Chain A
Amino acid sequence: MRAEELVSRLSRFLPAEAILHEEALLRPYECDALSIYRHVPLAVVLPVNEIEVQEILRVCFRMQIAVVARGAGTGLSGGALPVPNGIVLALTKLNQILDIDPLARTARVQPGVTNAAISEAANEFGLYYAPDPSSQIACSIGGNVAENSGGVHCLKYGLTLQNILSLRTVTIDGELLTVGSQGLDAPGYDLLALMTGSEGLLGVITEVTVKLLPIPEYAQVVLAAFDDVAQAGQAVANIISAGIIPAGLEMMDQGATRAVEAFIHAGYPLDAAAVLLCESDGSRDDVETEISRIMQVMRESGATQMTCSQSEAERLQLWSGRKAAFPAVGRLASDYYCMDGTIPRKALAAVLNRIAELSAHYRLACVNVFHAGDGNLHPLIMFDANHPDELRRAEEFGGAILELCIAVGGTITGEHGVGTEKINHMCIQFGTAELKTFHGIKTAFDRYALLNPGKAVPTLQRCAEFGAMHVKRGQEKFPELPRF
C-alpha cells in the first residue's frame, strides 16, 4: 500500500505523533472553512521545522504524492481541501515568532503564527501588522500569504502583498527558495508578487518577513444610514472623489443590519436600506479634520442619520455589528454560502438589484456585506445543506453572482481565493491563452503538479466540460447593451 510505504519512509525522520494516518485522526482535516466539500487525505503530516518540511517534500516528490499545505484551515474557498491520495502538510507547529526588529519595523515569523499574534507581539513596540482578515484571531500568516488576504483596512493599508518583504519557501523537490529581500525590492522577476496569492500551488512557505506599522494614535468611525442602496453607493464614490482614503469603508444592506441587530444590538437603524461604516485613523488632528469632511460628504449624499463614535468603546460597539455579520447570518440559517466578488464601485446598485432578483429566482434568502471602499462584495446565501436541492440552488445562485461580477468588469474573487469552489468560474473569467500561461507558471515551479493539484487554475479540459463561454473583454456579445 502506498500509504504504508509513505508512513514508513516518513517515520525514518519524523516522530510517530507527527504522522496521522488513522481515519479518526484524519477526519478533522477533511475540509477547511468551506465545509460543503470534503475528502479524507492519505495522511496528515505535522513538521516542526523547515528541515522536516524539506524532507517531507523530498519523499513526496520521489513517490509522486500530492501535497496540500494547510495553515489554520480557515479558508473559505476550499483551498486546503485534501486531494484523493495526497497528504495534508499541516504547518500549525511552525508557530514561532522568530524576531521582531522595532527599528526597521519588521517581524520574522513562521507560517503557523496567527495573524493576530503578530500584532500582539509587536504591541510593546507601538507597532502592529496591518492586514486584518475577519478570521484574524485564528487564521495563520502562511495562509494569509497563500491567499493574499485583505480585511476591512486594506483600502488604506493594502493587502498581504503590500505588507510583506520576503518569504522563505520550499520547492516541491525540497530546495530552499527565498523571494523578496529585507529591502523594498529584489533582483530579477518579482516572485514575491507571483507567489503571494498562489494558493499553495507554487511552493510551501516556511518563513515570512512582514512589515510592521506604528499603531495609529487615534481612530473614529461614522455610521451613516441611507434610504436607498444606490445613494449609499454614491456616497462611497463621493467620499473617494473628495480625496479621502478612509481606513475602512464598509456597507451592509438591510438584511445584514437586521440579522446583526437581532444578534448583538450594535445600534444600527433597522429602517435603513443600507448603512455605511466609515473609519478614519491617524493623529488626532488628522482624524478630526477627516471625520468632519466625511460627515459633510455623507450629509450631502443624502444620509438620513449619522452617528460618530465619541470614545474607543463606542467605536468598537459600532464595528461589532459588522464584525458579527457572518455569525449573525449563521443564526438565521443552518448554512450560509459566502461569495467574494469584486466589482467597480459604480456598478454596486445594479449588482445588488440583480442579486435580489436572483434571490427570488432561486428561492434562497441572501444578505449583503460589502467592503465598499474597494468594491469587494460578500453576499451571504442562506440555505440548508441537508436539503440536496437547496445546496444545488445555493451553488447555482453563487455561480450566477460570480458571472454577474465578471459581466460588470469585476472578478470572481477579491480575497478568498479560487480554491476548489470557484474553479469552474475561472473558465469564464479567463480565456485559453491566459489559462495556458497560468499552467506554464505552475510547471515552471512544480512540473509534476504535485502541490495542491486541481485548485485555483482549471485544466483546459475541465473548462471544455464545464461548457461556459469565456467573455473576452471589449468583445462582449451585444456591445450595444449597457453594462454599467
Chain B
Amino acid sequence: MDAILNQYQELIGSAVARKTTLCIRGGGSKEFYGNSLSGEIFDTNAYCGVVDYDPGELVITARCGTPLSEIETTLRANDQMLAFEPPYFAPNATLGGCIAAGLSGPRRASTGAIRDYLLGVRMLNGLGEDLYFGGRVMKNVAGYDVTRFLAGSLGTLGVILQASLKVLPLPQYEMTLNFEIDAASAIAKLNRWVGLGIPISASCHVDKHLTVRLSGSESRLAALRQTLGGERVAQDVSFWKAIRDHTHDFFQTDQPLWRLSIKSSAPPLKISDKQLVEWNGSMRWCQGGLEPSTARRVAETHGGHATLFRSNDNKHSVFHPLPLLMLNLHKRLKQTFDPHLIFNPGRMYPEF
C-alpha cells in the first residue's frame, strides 16, 4: 500500500509541477453529481481494504478504494450498519466517493448524516502531504473538525485516503407501512409523528402515497401498527433501496431532477407537479424543467437550498449560489488545502 501512496504523491507533485489538474475518481458511481468534470483521472480504487474493525468499539476503518458493498457486508455479518444508509447509485461505489459526495440516504432524518459518523480521516492535500485528522474515538474536539468538514467537499480539498467511521447496531426490528394521503397532510403528519416520538427511520411521499419505515422492538412496532393503521408493505427492503439509489419509478425520467433541502414543515412546493418528499419533509425531489432562479428562490423562502441533482446540460451551476462573503471564504479554505488548485476544479463552484 505504501507503493500506491508514493505513486499518488508523485502524481500530485507532477500535477503541481506541470500546472495540470486532477479529477479524483473512485468507482465513478457519482460522476453525474456536481458541475462538469475536468483534469486527468486520479484513480483511487487501488488503495483499498478494511484496515481495522472492532464491533465492540463501534468503529470501522477502511481505505478510500474499498467498495461500499464490502464495508456493509462486513458490518452486516456483525449485525451492524452504516447508519446514514449511503446511496450507491451504482454497485461499484467506494468509501472515498461516498465521503466526498457527502450524500446520505433514507435514514438521514432519524439517525444523522455521513458527516455525523466520520471520526477520522487520513488525506493527501494539494502538496501531497500525508495528513491525519480526528481519530478512532467517539468524542474528539482537539483542533478544528477537519474530518467532518471534508464530507461533501467533492474532492476539492484533497484525496481522502482512509477514514474511520462510527457504526451502529442494526435495528432490532423494522416494518414499513403505506397510507393513501395527499402531500400536504403527509408532511403535517410526519412532522407531528416525529414530535410524538414515533420511531420513523425513513419516509417517502409520492403520488398520493405515504410510505413510512418504523424501527424498534417488535412489541412496540406491533402496538404502533394498531394505532397508526395503514397497509403493511411486504417488499420493504427493495422499496427503500430504490428510494436510496434513485431506481424507484419516480426517478426514471430524462427530465432534470432538482433536490430541495428545506425546513421539514414547509408545505408542498408549487413549482413542480412531480414531487417526491423524503426525510420527514426536509427533502423535496422535484422533476421538470424548472427555472433555476425559481427553484432557488423557493428553496430560500423555506430556509434551505436547491441543487440541480441530475441533468443533461447546465453543468456549471449545479449548486445553490453562495453569497460573495461565503464564496470568498470558500476560495480561501480551498487554497489552504490545495494552494495550486489541482483537485477537481469547478466541480463544486466554477470559481475554484
The chain B residue sitting closest to A429, CB to CB, is: B142
Flag if A345 contacts B139 (CB, 8 Å).
Answer: no
Question: What is the interface of chain A, defined by CB distance below 8 A to chain B?
Answer: 101-105, 125-127, 147-148, 150, 154-155, 158-159, 161-162, 171, 175, 177, 181-191, 193-194, 196-198, 202, 214-217, 237-238, 240-241, 243-245, 282-283, 285-286, 289-290, 342-346, 371, 373-376, 409-418, 422, 426, 429-431, 433-434, 437-438, 440-441, 443-445, 456-457, 472-473
Flag if A245 contacts B168 (CB, 8 Å).
Answer: yes
A181 to B164, CA, bound (A): 27
B336 — which chain A residues lie within 8 A by C-beta? 437, 440-441, 443-444
Flag if B141 contacts A190 (CB, 8 Å).
Answer: no
A414 to B135, CA, bound (A): 11
The chain B residue sitting closest to A416, CB to CB, is: B141
Chain A interface, >50% SS class: loop
Asked whether any CB of chain A lies closer than 8 Å to the CB of B282, the reply is: yes
Flag if B304 contacts A104 (CB, 8 Å).
Answer: no
**Nearest-CB distance from B60 to chain A (Å)?**
13
Asked whether any CB of chain A lies closer than 8 Å to the CB of B229, the reply is: no
B146 — which chain A residues lie within 8 A by C-beta? 194, 437-438, 441
Contact status of A193 and B261, CB under 8 A, knowing A185-B113, A187-B322, A414-B141: no
Q: Which of B21-29, B41-49, B51-59, B88-96 contacts A (4 or more CB under 8 A)?
A: B51-59
The chain B residue sitting closest to A344, CB to CB, is: B57
B148 — which chain A residues lie within 8 A by C-beta? 161, 190, 193-194
Flag if A189 contacts B139 (CB, 8 Å).
Answer: no
A217 to B216, CA, bound (A): 15
Which among B145, B168, B220, B264 is the interface contact of A286 at CB below 8 angstroms? B220
**Nearest-CB distance from B84 to chain A (Å)?**
11
Which among B133, B172, B195, B216 is the interface contact of A103 at CB below 8 angstroms? B195
Asked whether any CB of chain A lies closer than 8 Å to the CB of B271, the reply is: no
- Select the residue from B144, B149, B219, B261 with max chain A CB neighbours within 10 A: B144
Flag if B142 contacts A411 (CB, 8 Å).
Answer: yes
B139 — which chain A residues lie within 8 A by C-beta? 150, 154, 159, 342, 371, 374-376, 411, 414-415
Asked whether any CB of chain A lies closer than 8 Å to the CB of B315, the reply is: no
Which among B141, B142, B217 is the interface contact of A285 at CB below 8 angstroms? B217
A375 — which chain B residues lie within 8 A by C-beta? 137-139
Contact status of A286 and B216, CB under 8 A, knowing A177-B329, A182-B262: yes
Contact status of A444 and B329, CB under 8 A, knowing A182-B263, A342-B140, A346-B57: yes
Flag if B131 contacts A434 (CB, 8 Å).
Answer: yes
Question: What is the interface of chain B, defined by CB distance below 8 A to chain A?
Answer: 54-59, 79-80, 102, 108-109, 112-113, 115-116, 125, 129-133, 135-146, 148-149, 151-153, 168-170, 172, 188, 191-192, 194-197, 199, 216-217, 219-220, 223, 261-265, 279, 282-283, 302-305, 307, 319-322, 325-326, 329-330, 332-333, 335-337, 348-349
B326 — which chain A residues lie within 8 A by C-beta? 177, 188
Flag if A162 contacts B57 (CB, 8 Å).
Answer: no
Contact status of A440 and B57, CB under 8 A, knowing A193-B151, A433-B129: no
**Nearest-CB distance from A443 to chain B (Å)?**
7
Flag if A430 contacts B143 (CB, 8 Å).
Answer: yes
A243 to B135, CA, bound (A): 23
The chain B residue sitting closest to A285, CB to CB, is: B220
Number of A-B contacts (CB under 8 A): 253
Flag if B283 contacts A184 (CB, 8 Å).
Answer: yes
The chain A residue sitting closest to B219, CB to CB, is: A285
The chain A residue sitting closest to B188, CB to CB, is: A103
Flag if A240 contacts B58 (CB, 8 Å).
Answer: yes
- Select the residue from B115, B145, B188, B335 with max chain A CB neighbours within 10 A: B145
Q: A214-B196, A289-B217 are in contact. List 19 more A-B contacts (CB 8 A).
A: A102-B195, A126-B195, A155-B138, A161-B145, A182-B262, A184-B279, A187-B320, A190-B115, A193-B115, A194-B148, A243-B172, A344-B59, A345-B56, A374-B137, A409-B135, A414-B138, A437-B125, A441-B333, A445-B329
A127 — which chain B residues lie within 8 A by C-beta? 195
Contact status of A194 and B145, CB under 8 A, knowing A175-B325, A181-B305, A289-B217: yes
Flag if B144 contacts A411 (CB, 8 Å).
Answer: no
A373 to B129, CA, bound (A): 34
Give 30 pairs: A residue, B residue, CB < 8 Å, sorted on A.
A103-B192, A161-B116, A177-B329, A182-B303, A183-B262, A184-B109, A187-B321, A187-B322, A188-B348, A189-B149, A189-B330, A193-B148, A197-B145, A198-B145, A215-B197, A216-B197, A237-B57, A245-B169, A285-B219, A289-B217, A344-B54, A376-B138, A409-B137, A414-B140, A433-B125, A437-B336, A438-B146, A440-B337, A441-B144, A441-B333
A82 to B90, CA, bound (A): 53
Which among B143, B279, B320 is the interface contact of A434 at CB below 8 angstroms? B143
The chain A residue sitting closest to B80, CB to CB, is: A243
The chain B residue sitting closest to A148, CB to CB, is: B141
Flag if B132 contacts A473 (CB, 8 Å).
Answer: yes
Flag if A283 contacts B329 (CB, 8 Å).
Answer: no
Shortest 6 CB-CB distances between A and B: which pairs? A182-B303, A440-B336, A243-B169, A183-B304, A414-B139, A374-B138
Flag if B138 contacts A186 (CB, 8 Å).
Answer: no
**Nearest-CB distance from A156 to chain B (Å)?**
10
Flag if B261 contacts A344 (CB, 8 Å).
Answer: no
- Select the residue from A158, A238, A437 with max chain B CB neighbours within 10 A: A437
Which among B102, B130, B219 is the interface contact of A289 at CB below 8 angstroms? B219
Which among B55, B115, B283, B322 is the interface contact of A241 at CB below 8 angstroms? B55
Flag if B196 contacts A186 (CB, 8 Å).
Answer: no
Contact status of A177 and B194, CB under 8 A, knowing A182-B263, A183-B263, A193-B115: no
B172 — which chain A residues lie within 8 A by C-beta? 243
The chain B residue sitting closest to A217, CB to CB, is: B197
Contact status of A197 and B141, CB under 8 A, knowing A105-B195, A214-B194: yes
A434 to B217, CA, bound (A): 44
A238 — which chain B residues lie within 8 A by C-beta? 56
Contact status of A237 and B56, CB under 8 A, knowing A185-B261, A214-B194: yes
A194 to B333, CA, bound (A): 11
Flag if B142 contacts A214 (CB, 8 Å).
Answer: no
